[in-house]
Structure 1
Amino acid sequence: MNFKAIAIAAAAAAVATSGQAADLPSDIAPVDYVRINDAYGAGFFVLPGTETAIKIGGRVRIDLKINNLTDDEDFGGVDDDGDARNNQNFRARANIRVDTRTQSELGLIRTFADFQFTSDTDGRGNEGVELNAGYVQVGGFTFGRASSTFDLWLGDLSTNTFDRHISDDTVWQASYTYAVANGLTLAASVEDNSDRQHDIIDGTAAGNTVPTFVAKALLNQGWGWAGVSGAVTKLDAVDADSSEIGFGIAGGFGFNLDVIAPGDALNFQVAYADGALAYVGADETADAVLSGGDLEANTAWSVATGYKHNWTSELASGLEASYLDVEAGEETADFNDFNEVVVASSLEYRPVSGLLFSAGAAWKQKDVDGGDKNDAATLNFRVERSF
């Protein structure tokens, strides 16, 4: 091949290459890869095309609860249809949680939704989805369904046994939390009392006519925590001559006992309520007695404590106990003074992150003034996977 032929071939190749290049787009959009954002903790990533960090997680729980372990207790009873409940109950529960965070000129904007699915042998045919929690936070403000501002220590046992006498409720609210300094926060809230309201003995409850007002001061330090909270609500009934004011107050503290083992904690809490017994963790009771048109508020106080010990990084156990004392505003055939004690324990094993195997046992005794003293005991076995 001579030099002239080589030159002609090179020129032809150059023309073909320039023609193909002219057919390609001049600007290629960059690929918007998903970015990790760990500023809010593990699991958050940035939604493409936005500055919003999102985390999708949840858990699945499987429970077996064995009841009626004592001779004189009536824990099983009957359901709303008059059918006998089982002495054992199997439950499957799944939670899907969506958490978003966005920085703005108003501060951090957060949304959180927790969708809960439950199916158990005591409620077959009633399976469904509920919004366990759902709220919007803008700066220090919270709007929606979230843990009550009143609540302090919620207990540490990872089992499903008898409830200790501790206030632990998720309520509709509008609240504001202000961080003062050095771990001290102040909070105030306006809350719907529907989930906390109990019966009126010999009267028809009128429901909520005004919201509940709640305030709390909480101190968190390296040694532990301390806090006080209070709530004021309205007590009413259709047949009552006038309404009454109900209230609840609580105080507590906890110590981090890392000197014994990492993660160990000892907690203590006391509460008092007048006409608002949910604030002392009293269930299956009444807020007041209607007598001759007058509302006589029932009063109660409770004390609760618990210790959680970590034997190893995978194995832990806990013991909690509480005592409740209820005094009727006026004793009737349907309502008398009573006290109740609950003791609960758990053994928890976490072989890998997010996986829990636990076993729990609990005992309670209710002593009614002038009536019976009944005992109850239960066992619970749980497998839980969180993600």
Structure 2
Amino acid sequence: MRATLALAVTGLLAPSVHAQSATELQTQINDLQRQLDGMAESKGSEGWMVPGTNTAVTIGGYVKLDMIYDFDQDMGDSLFVAGLDTANDESDPSFRAHARQSRVRIKTTTPTDAGEVKTTVEGDFYGGGGNEIFSNSRGLRIRHAYGELNGLLAGQTWSNFMQFTAYPSTVDFDGPVGVSFIRQAQLRYTMPLGGGANFSVSAENPETTGFEDSRDNAPDLTAKYKWAGSAGGIEVAGLARSLQTDSATATGDDNAFGYGVLVAGRLNLTDATTVMAGAIFGDGVGRYIYSSFSNNDSSASRSGIGEAYIDANGDLETIEAYGANVAISQQWTPKFSSGLSYGRVEGDQPADLFPNSFETLQSVHFSNFYKVADPVTLGLELSFADKELANGESADNTRLQLAAQFDF
């Protein structure tokens, strides 16, 4: 900035400089300094201006390294509890390291006569990729891509049927089971109610799991009330969906109605201590409960819970599913914090038809975070995962995870 100012002053000291008074020169220098200061403030608060427009762009995200040791069996890059292998009854420790959770985010804001237009595009590296022999390449995938104007949101982001109020922080990418965790394309409208409350409705992309030849004939519909204040917050949400199949085995009723109810809340016991809890219940709610989705297989080899199945009469029958989680977080010092969270999922699918589908999932996370500097955080987590099948088989795993995250 000083170099720019010096060049400008040098230009002013050309042949006409002797004709100007010292006062006039000082006035021009002061004006130029104010302009440069204003540009710096604008860049810091609003981002970089796109040339020829009034659109400001900001770039953010983080780089994260995860180092993982599984004591019992390899569970991959995240603690996906539904993926536990119940056929493996031996202890097979494994270690791996990756940077797939690293992400990049671009945001824009544009003032218009209709209001401020905002857009967000974010991606991470949990897409497909190469091998670990020499490149460890990973594909960039879309997490969020949406625009906003006056309470209207259009694009892909977190579902409106999701519990932000009671979602604990974990070192693991996934976090505890039993929470609502889903991103998809949607059209949403949020109406502020005042006093920290709002009401939102959405029409979202439908997708059905658990049986062959499913057909999505209508969007999933959601509605949510949310309040947040200094004492904590609460969310209550509802989901309605249409399930349909074109399978030849569905000789009876080939469509069904699915629904879900979500309640979540958090309470700030002190400035440093917070407790939170959430619960989800539904019939045909399926994939909206994290880890409860299923492969599209109506045979006895089907895994997961899914949303529905075709019964012996050829009718499409929905499946009840439940999810719950509780957590507590403690800020020990300005730099060090810890959290303990527990999650559980249960499904009510017929055990005689699907003996290999899981009946319950559980996970526990003991998470610790140390902020080395504002943009640098270290994480250490001990977690436990347990899976029980309808046929009585089970599997579990204990994981130790170390992470380093660099925000930008």
- Settle same-fold status: TM greater than 0.5: yes
Gap runs ≥5 in structure 2: 1-14, 20-31, 75-80, 87-91, 295-303
Identity, in percent, stands at: 20
State the alpha-carbon separation in 1 of the partners of residues 361 and 206 from structure 2: 24
Alignment of 1:9-158 (within 5 A): 34-37=39-42, 44-69=47-72, 87-93=94-100, 94-118=102-126, 124=132, 127-152=138-163, 153-158=166-171
Residue from 197, 218, 221 that aligns with 1:213 = 221
CA separation of 1:282/1:331 partners in 2, compared to 1, >3 Å: closer, same or farther?
farther
Structure 2 residue 310 is the aligned partner of structure 1 residue 307: no
1:336 offset after TM fit, Å? 5.6
**Contact residue 56 and residue 110 of structure 2 kept, 8 A:** yes
The equivalent residue for 2:397 is 376
State the alpha-carbon separation in 2 of the partners of residues 276 and 161 from structure 1: 19
SS at match of 2:245: coil
SS at match of 2:372: coil
1:166 offset after TM fit, Å? 0.5
The equivalent residue for 1:10 is none
**Contact residue 296 and residue 330 of structure 1 kept, 8 A:** no
Please identify the structure whose Cα radius of gyration is greater: 1
CA separation of 1:122/1:357 partners in 2, compared to 1, >3 Å: closer, same or farther?
farther
Structure 2 residue 297 is the aligned partner of structure 1 residue 290: no
**Segment of structure 1 superposing worse, 177-186 or 375-384:** 375-384
SS at match of 1:376: strand
Q: Which amino acid aligns with 2:177?
A: R
Q: TM-score, normalised by structure 2?
A: 0.76
Residue from 230, 255, 259 that aligns with 1:247 = 259
1:42 offset after TM fit, Å? 5.2
The equivalent residue for 1:9 is none
**Segment of structure 1 superposing worse, 163-172 or 153-162:** 153-162
1:381 offset after TM fit, Å? 1.3
**Contact residue 345 and residue 362 of structure 1 kept, 8 A:** yes
Q: Which amino acid aligns with 1:345?
A: F
Structure 2 residue 278 is the aligned partner of structure 1 residue 275: no
1:47 offset after TM fit, Å? 3.9
Q: TM-score, normalised by structure 1?
A: 0.80
Alignment of 1:184-203 (within 5 A): 184-194=197-207, 197-200=208-211
The equivalent residue for 1:341 is 362
Q: Which amino acid aligns with 1:233?
A: R
1:256-302 CA distances to partner (integer Å, 9 max, x unpaired)?
A: 2334x2xx321111110111222232435122221232112111112
The equivalent residue for 1:317 is 338
1:169-204 CA distances to partner (integer Å, 9 max, x unpaired)?
A: 11101100010111110000010023xx3222xxx1
**Contact residue 59 and residue 384 of structure 1 kept, 8 A:** yes
State the alpha-carbon separation in 2 of the partners of residues 366 and 68 from structure 1: 16
1:376 offset after TM fit, Å? 2.1
The equivalent residue for 1:182 is 195
- The structure carrying a bigger helix percent of its residues is 2
**Contact residue 136 and residue 144 of structure 1 kept, 8 A:** yes
1:146 offset after TM fit, Å? 0.8
**Contact residue 284 and residue 319 of structure 2 kept, 8 A:** yes
CA root-mean-square deviation: 3.2
**Segment of structure 1 superposing worse, 347-356 or 94-103:** 94-103
1:246 offset after TM fit, Å? 1.0
State the alpha-carbon separation in 1 of the partners of residues 390 and 159 from structure 2: 32
**Segment of structure 1 superposing worse, 307-316 or 230-239:** 230-239
State the alpha-carbon separation in 1 of the partners of residues 174 and 95 from structure 2: 12
1:316-345 CA distances to partner (integer Å, 9 max, x unpaired)?
A: 110000122210157414456712221111
Residue from 249, 264, 269 that aligns with 1:257 = 269
SS at match of 1:316: strand
**Contact residue 355 and residue 389 of structure 2 kept, 8 A:** no
State the alpha-carbon separation in 2 of the partners of residues 74 and 48 from structure 1: 49
State the alpha-carbon separation in 1 of the partners of residues 355 and 131 from structure 2: 28
CA separation of 1:362/1:225 partners in 2, compared to 1, >3 Å: closer, same or farther?
same
- The structure carrying a bigger strand percent of its residues is 1
CA separation of 1:291/1:42 partners in 2, compared to 1, >3 Å: closer, same or farther?
same
**Contact residue 233 and residue 245 of structure 1 kept, 8 A:** yes
**Contact residue 63 and residue 406 of structure 2 kept, 8 A:** yes
Gap runs ≥5 in structure 1: 1-16, 22-29, 79-84
1:230 offset after TM fit, Å? 1.0
Structure 1 consecutive aligned stretches of length 4 or more whose deviation exceeds 4 Å: 30-33, 73-78, 118-126, 333-337
